């Protein structure tokens, strides 16, 4: 060998003839099964290959590869391993110039076949598989370092290489946890364990993938998992994609996510567990990609997931409608449970993905999801619910709101306007008026996520009487101008939804707890002096509604409202503790609480009285003039769209007079309420029911959209007419004072207009405003 090597180095032009001669001898010895001569010939070829690096080595390499091929084609495992070892040595040699005519198709096919060896002897089978994996690794290294490396990434090669590696990786006994990237195998394991060696080769292959060939390397993974039915259970699928996401370059992560989404679309008609397995793989990929670059696929991810959420609900609804008795019914129930697994996996993926996005993208996703929540009576949502029916529609509403709840978790906006813009607040509050307590709970929880910017909600959990609020160590900041503007514009809308939410007949304890938390969070995060007064008015109105009970609520609900008011106001409660414990949250919301037969006979000291609250607030510097004005919720189009019985069946025009001081008990209330019912009695009622509905709609539309000057002029003319009629009846003269006695407050939509002079009309023993 020393003489032969010296001769080959000294005369490199002779390498071609040397290689041809050795190849001829080796081929003859292989056929004649002369293993000793085969080993000698391959040793000579290996040493010559390692020693010579001249341009003339190109023809010698062809002879060398031809001999390696002969060894791999033989049926003897020792010769196959020998040929593989020689090829690996050749793959580690860096050639000075590329070879434009050399191809490795045969070696890819042969090494892939060796990876699937089924030899009867386990040791020999393992040895052949290890040789096949090392051969694939050599091909990858050789072609990647070659300028013609693009050939190895062609689909016909990847369809052989990737499944061969995955087939051996399936032997891994312990699947890594989700907490981090899979650990790198040790050097000893790489040489002895086919599974570890295959995984290492798979990592190396993916690490060398570029933008143009990434998809070709990933798609065979889906084919392998489908063929071997590895989506259910999906531990191995999760393990594979964790390796993929940690091995590829971060900027290519969105390619993998797109491929998973595409495969989910392709398998949309498969069993629920298969779809759930794919979605869980997507969750793992998103969890890793969210830490780096996700690219332009954000909306595509959510759009695809929401589409499959709708499909899952549709499948579930169809199974419920088509179910029958017997075994079919049991199968239908099993499918329903499986569909819930799919739905929960989708929601978990949406929540995890959304919670890892930056705030500006999260706001877009919140709008994106909210735009797909169906609301009865409207067509503003973009989700097709034509095939779902009422039960399926309710299910999709709950699923979407749960997704929204997870996306908004941890969201901290600097101003409430950023978190709750009008385009988001209006559709969000619409489900809060529906006859479904679970929907209303989800809406309130989403509101809490967006309002609670200082993590105070945990301290307010559970409706109860708090002896000393200071012990809670509430965190709050000074109300900014943007938040004040938000409450001026949207405060009445929030109060109205809380007021109506308290009066729903299907409320449970959790609803009252969430409503209480809503009041508390508004007080902490958004309340200035005016908002505090409005909230107290709202609480008193709730108390009055529970006492009067125009909606015929059960006694539990009436006492629940009283307990909510007590927990919020947190004022004089000693008397209640002794005489009416069912008005307190600690008693009414526990099992087997004794309920009263009525509320009308109770002592007024058990109620929260406006005049006493005004005295307390007045001493603290609050302006309490508006506290004596009863709270009446605004009427909006939501009452028509929400499938609920509105407490307001008429249009109310509320005129507030703000005197300089709080009137005493013997003074008539300074609010005159002119309702549509009262006006209707003064006109001809011979019209049909349809005409009355049209008139009511026109009145609502007028007070929502008409200019303020027109509304004020109409109110003034009607007020003058009323004064004239009173004067005629009492035969008195109206004598206006020289200066106004108050101001007229008219609310139109979200705007309030004040400072309109109102004169006091005096009559004997009667004061009319």
Residue 567 has pLDDT above 50, yes or no: yes
pLDDT for residue 113: 92
- Contact call for residues 733 and 740 (beta carbons, < 8 A): no
CA distances from 518 to 368, 529, 630 (A): 24, 18, 21
Given a cut of 60, whether residue 412 has pLDDT beyond it is yes
pTM for this prediction: 0.68
Closest CA to 440 of 375, 517, 511, 367: 511
Answer yes or no: are the C-beta atoms of 416 and 451 closer than 8 Å: yes
**119-128, 343-352, 545-554, 636-645: range with lowest mean pLDDT:** 636-645
One-character DSSP codes across 40-95 = HHHHHHHHHHHH--STTHHHHHHHHHHHHHHHHHSS-HHHHHHHHHHHHHHHTPPP
Cα 58 from Cα 52, distance rounded (Å): 10
Cβ burial, residue 53 (10 Å; 0-12/13-18/19+): middle
Give yes or no for a contact between 428 and 493, defined as CB atoms under 8 angstroms apart.
no
Half-sphere exposure of 534 (CA within 13 A, CB side): 22
Give me the pLDDT at residue 754, please: 46
Contact 351/406 with Cβ under 8 angstroms? yes
**Among candidates 253, 182, 262, which has minimal Cα distance to 222?**
262
Whether residue 476 contacts residue 451, with contact meaning beta carbons closer than 8 Å, is answered with no
DSSP letters for 561-621: HHHHHHHHH--S-HHHHHH-GGGSHHHHTSTTPPPPS-STTS-GGGSPPHHHHHHHHHHTT
Strand partners, 654: 673
**Between the ranges 90-94, 523-527, 628-632, where is the mean pLDDT highest?**
523-527
For 154-209, the DSSP string reads SHHHHHHHHHHHHHHHTT-SS---SSSPPPPPPHHHHHH-HHHHHHHHHHHHHHT-
The 3-class SS string of 281-332 reads HHHHHHHHHCCCCCHHHHHHHHHHHHHHHHHHHHHHHHHHHHCCCCHHHHHH
Please confirm whether the linkage preceding 568 is cis (ω < 30° from 0): no
Q: For residues 41 and 83, what is the distance between their CA atoms, to the nearest angstrom? A: 11
pLDDT tens-digit profile of 702-761?
Answer: 777 676 767 776 777 677 766 666 666 554 444 444 444 555 554 444 444 444 454 444
Partners of residue 656 on adjacent β-strands: 671, 745
pLDDT value at residue 760: 46
Over residues 282-302, the pLDDT tens digits come to: 988 888 876 655 555 677 888
DSSP SS3 for 768: strand
pLDDT band at 767 (very low <50, low <70, confident <90, very high): very low
Distance CA 434, CA 471 (A): 37
Question: How many of the other CB atoms lie within 10 Å of CB of 72?
Answer: 25
What is the spatial distance between Cα 303 and Cα 314, in angstroms, rounded to a whole number?
17
Please tell me the least confidently modeled range out of 47-51, 276-280, 316-320, 764-768: 764-768
pLDDT at 105: 85
* H or E element in which residue 278 lies: helix 272-289
* Confidence (pLDDT) at 676: 54
Q: Which residues contact 612 (CB under 8 A, 6 or more apart)?
A: 572
Distances (CA, A) of 120 to 6, 74, 77, 197: 45, 17, 12, 21
| Rounded-to-integer distance, Cα 303 and Cα 324, Å | 34
Please write the tens of the pLDDT for every residue from 350-408.
Answer: 888 887 788 778 888 888 888 888 876 555 555 666 666 777 788 888 888 998 998 89
Percent of the chain with pLDDT over 70: 72
pLDDT band, residue 3 (cuts 50/70/90): confident
Give yes or no for a contact between 234 and 273, defined as CB atoms under 8 angstroms apart: no
Chain Cα centroid distance, residue 643: 27
Name the strand (E) or helix (H) holding 657.
strand 652-657
> For all residues of the chain together, what is the average pLDDT?
76
For the residues 39-50, what does the mean pLDDT come to? 77
Which residues are paired to 744 by β-bridges? 657, 756
pLDDT tens digits, one per residue of 136-162: 998 888 877 555 555 788 889 999 999
Q: According to the model, what pLDDT value does residue 738 have?
A: 47
């Amino acid at each position: 060998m020393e003489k032969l090597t010296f001769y080959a180095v000294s005369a490199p032009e002779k390498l071609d003839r040397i290689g041809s001669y050795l190849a001829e001898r080796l081929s003859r010895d292989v056929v004649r099964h002369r293993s000793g001569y085969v080993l000698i010939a391959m040793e000579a070829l290996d040493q010559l290959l390692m020693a010579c690096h001249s341009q003339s080595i190109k023809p010698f390499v062809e002879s060398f590869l031809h001999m390696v091929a002969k060894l791999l084609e033989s049926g003897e495992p020792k010769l196959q391993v020998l040929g593989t070892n020689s090829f690996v040595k050749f793959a580690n040699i860096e050639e000075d110039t590329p070879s434009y005519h050399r191809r490795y198709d045969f070696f890819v096919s042969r090494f892939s076949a060796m990876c699937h060896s089924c030899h009867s002897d386990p040791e020999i089978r393992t040895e052949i598989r290890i040789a096949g994996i090392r051969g694939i690794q050599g091909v990858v290294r050789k072609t990647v370092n070659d300028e013609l490396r693009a050939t190895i990434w062609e689909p016909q090669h990847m369809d052989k290489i990737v499944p061969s590696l995955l087939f051996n990786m399936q032997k891994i006994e312990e699947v890594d946890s989700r907490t981090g990237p899979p650990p790198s195998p040790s050097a000893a394991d790489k040489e002895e364990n086919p599974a570890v060696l295959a995984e290492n080769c798979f990592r190396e292959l993916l690490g060398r993938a570029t933008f143009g060939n990434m998809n070709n390397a990933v798609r065979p993974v889906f084919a392998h998992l489908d063929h071997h039915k590895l989506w259910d259970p999906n531990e191995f699928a999760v393990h594979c994609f964790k390796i993929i996401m940690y091995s590829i370059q971060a900027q290519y992560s969105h390619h993998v996510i797109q491929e998973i989404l595409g495969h989910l679309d392709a398998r949309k008609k498969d069993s629920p567990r298969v779809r759930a397995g794919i979605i869980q793989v997507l969750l793992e990929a998103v969890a890793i990609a969210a830490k780096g670059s996700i690219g332009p696929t954000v909306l595509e991810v959510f759009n695809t997931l929401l589409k499959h959420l709708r499909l899952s609900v549709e499948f579930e609804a169809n199974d419920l409608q088509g179910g029958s008795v017997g075994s079919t019914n049991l199968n239908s129930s099993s499918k329903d449970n499986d569909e819930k697994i799919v739905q929960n996996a989708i929601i978990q993926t949406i929540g995890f993905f959304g919670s890892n996005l930056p705030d500006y993208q999260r706001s877009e996703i919140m709008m994106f999801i909210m735009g797909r929540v169906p609301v009865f009576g409207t067509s503003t949502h973009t989700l097709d619910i034509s095939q779902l029916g009422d039960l399926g529609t309710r299910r999709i509403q709950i699923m979407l709101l749960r997704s929204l709840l997870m996306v908004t978790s941890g969201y901290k906006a600097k101003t409430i306007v950023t978190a709750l813009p009008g385009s988001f607040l209006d559709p969000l509050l619409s489900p809060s008026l529906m006859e479904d307590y679970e929907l209303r709970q989800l809406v309130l929880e989403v509101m809490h996520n967006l309002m609670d910017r200082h993590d105070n909600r945990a301290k307010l959990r559970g409706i109860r009487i708090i002896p000393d609020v200071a012990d809670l160590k509430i965190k709050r900041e000074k109300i900014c101008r943007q938040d004040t503007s938000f409450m001026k514009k949207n405060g009445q809308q929030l109060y109205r939804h809380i007021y109506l939410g308290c009066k729903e007949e299907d409320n449970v304890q959790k609803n009252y707890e969430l409503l209480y938390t809503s009041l508390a969070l508004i007080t902490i995060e958004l309340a200035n002096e005016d908002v505090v007064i409005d909230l107290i008015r709202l609480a008193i109105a709730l108390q009055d509604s529970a006492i009067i009970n125009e909606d015929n609520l059960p006694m539990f609900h009436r006492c629940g409202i009283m307990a909510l008011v007590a927990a919020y106001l947190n004022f004089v409660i000693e008397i209640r503790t002794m005489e009416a414990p069912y008005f307190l949250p600690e008693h009414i919301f526990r099992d087997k609480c004794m309920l009263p037969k009525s509320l009308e006979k109770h002592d007024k000291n058990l109620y929260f009285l406006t005049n006493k609250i005004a005295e307390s607030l007045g001493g603290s510097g609050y302006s309490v003039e508006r506290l004596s004005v009863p709270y009446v919720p605004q009427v909006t189009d939501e009452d028509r769209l929400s499938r609920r019985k509105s407490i307001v069946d008429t249009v109310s025009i509320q005129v507030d007079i703000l005197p300089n001081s709080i009137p005493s008990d013997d003074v008539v209330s300074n609010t005159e309420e002119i309702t549509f019912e009262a006006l209707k009695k003064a006109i001809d009622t011979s019209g049909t029911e349809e005409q009355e509905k049209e008139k009511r709609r026109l009145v609502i539309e007028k007070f929502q959209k008409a200019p303020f000057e027109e509304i004020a002029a109409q109110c003034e003319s009607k007020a003058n007419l009323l004064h004239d009629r009173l004067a005629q009846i009492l035969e008195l003269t109206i004598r206006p004072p020289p200066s106004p006695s108050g101001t007229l407050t008219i609310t139109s939509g979200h705007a309030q207009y004040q400072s309109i002079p109102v004169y006091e009309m005096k009559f004997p023993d009667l004061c009319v405003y």
